[in-house]
Amino acid sequence: MSGWLVILASAVLIAGLLVAAGVFTWVERRLLGFLQERLGPNRVGPFGFLQWVADTVKLLTKEDAPPEGADVIAFRLAPALAALPILAGFGVVAFGDGLAIAPLDMGVVFATAMLALTVYALVLGAWASRNRYALLGGLRAAAQMIAYEAFLGLSLMGVVLIAGSFAMADIVAAQKGAWFILVQPLGAVLFFIASLAAAHRLPFDLQESETDLVAGFMTEYSGMSFALFFLGEYVAILLVSALAVTLFLGGWLGPWLPGPVWFGLKVGAVALLFIWVRAALPRPRYDQLIAFAWKLALPLALLNLLLTGWVVVA
């Protein structure tokens, strides 16, 4: 792919992700309203569909001033760091056979690395805000990412062992006989749990828990800066959903419909599962959250990797 074509494809992909993230916020609010027996957005546009456009305009026109005593450069840099790595992670995602901007041999490693980089933005923004609630939220985010990244990588190593490759196209091709969720059910469950934590979603959103930290690391942010943090979170949901589809649900494979259509439908189904979890589960205590990662999830991920390695070698 030539340089200009890569730039054009990247621009189209980023524009599509921005629209998809906006629409997903509307889908989430409508579905949460249904699950909680309330209306949800229903004023702007048919069925409230244009609410995400109104929210975008509001955030773009809202005052965005750093608080007194803040480190202005770090305060401004953090929101961009929250969104840019996630958008970069989509560069290696294979949306169909041969449909990837940068089909790297280490695509899975690159995508998970970009996902992990967002925690630096959270910590930087929390520190730069000079706010105790923000700082506590940043510290929680750092500890949570260390705990859950430990078994996020281990949970997908079973898939890598079976496929024999870190390239996303090779992993999808290895699932022509059977999706890996059938042979790696424990790995799939652990990956989904770790993905919730990596995307900072309920019940793992204690770094921005409004019940005790106001808004956590985002307490002092508003306007466009807040919108970038918000964008990073929702695009992260789409990224981990795309990874889950690639690793465990056969990627673009499926009958009748074109591959990219199957990929989009599967990503949408996994993203809806994130919404259902948010509506159904309460937040745990922070010590319970960390204890679950180190005492239960990590040993299970190691056991799954050990059994998978034994089966592959045997």
Q: What is the pLDDT of residues 220-259, one digit of tens each?
A: 888 888 888 888 889 999 999 999 999 999 989 988 889 8
Name which of 280, 255, 257 is nearest 196 in CA terms: 280
pLDDT greater than 90 at residue 269: yes
Q: Assign 98 a pLDDT band (cuts: 50, 70, 90).
A: confident
Q: Is residue 136 part of a domain?
A: yes
Q: What is the pLDDT of residues 101-126, one digit of tens each?
A: 888 888 899 999 998 888 888 889 88
Q: Is residue 226 part of a domain?
A: yes
CA-to-CA distance for 105 and 249, rounded, in angstroms? 20
Residue 133's pLDDT is 85
- Average of pLDDT values for 158-180? 91
Evaluate whether 13 touches 95 at the Cβ level (below 8 Å): no
Q: What is the pLDDT of residues 33-72, one digit of tens each?
A: 988 888 888 888 888 899 999 988 988 888 888 888 788 8
The sign of the CA dihedral 159, 160, 166, 170 is: negative
Name which of 190, 195, 172, 185 is nearest 111 in CA terms: 195
Q: Is residue 305 part of a domain?
A: yes
Omega prior to 203 cis, within 30 of 0: yes
Q: Is residue 9 part of a domain?
A: no
Q: Is residue 251 part of a domain?
A: yes
Residue 275's pLDDT is 92
Rg (CA), the chain: 20
pTM of the model: 0.92
Query: Which residues make Cβ contacts (< 8 Å) with residue 132, sequence separation at least 6?
Result: none
CA distances from 82 to 13, 113, 205 (A): 18, 13, 15
Residue 19's pLDDT is 93
The dihedrals phi and psi of 170, each to the nearest 5 degrees, come to: -65, -40
- Average of pLDDT values for 282-308? 91
Residue 2's pLDDT is 67
Q: Assign 205 a pLDDT band (cuts: 50, 70, 90).
A: confident
pLDDT greater than 80 at residue 274: yes
Q: Assign 1 a pLDDT band (cuts: 50, 70, 90).
A: low
Residue 21's pLDDT is 92
Q: Assign 263 a pLDDT band (cuts: 50, 70, 90).
A: very high
Q: Is residue 31 part of a domain?
A: no
Three-state SS sequence of the chain: CCHHHHHHHHHHHHHHHHHHHHHHHHHHHHHHHHHCCCCCCCCCCHHHCCHHHHHHHHHHHCCCCCCCCCCHHHHHHHHHHHHHHHHHHHHHCCCCCCCCCCCCCCHHHHHHHHHHHHHHHHHHHHHHHCCHHHHHHHHHHHHHHHHHHHHHHHHHHHHHHHHCCCCHHHHHHCCCCCCHHHHCHHHHHHHHHHHHHHCCCCCCCHHHCHHHHCCHHHCCCCHHHHHHHHHHHHHHHHHHHHHHHHHHCCCCCCCCCCHHHHHHHHHHHHHHHHHHHHHHCCCCCHHHHHHHHHHHHHHHHHHHHHHHHHHHHC
Q: How many domains does the chain have?
A: 1
Range of the domain at 262: 66-313
Q: What is the pLDDT of residues 127-143, one digit of tens each?
A: 888 888 888 888 888 88
The mean predicted confidence, pLDDT, of the chain is: 89
Residue 194's pLDDT is 92
Q: Is residue 33 part of a domain?
A: no
Q: Is residue 107 part of a domain?
A: yes
Evaluate whether 285 touches 196 at the Cβ level (below 8 Å): no
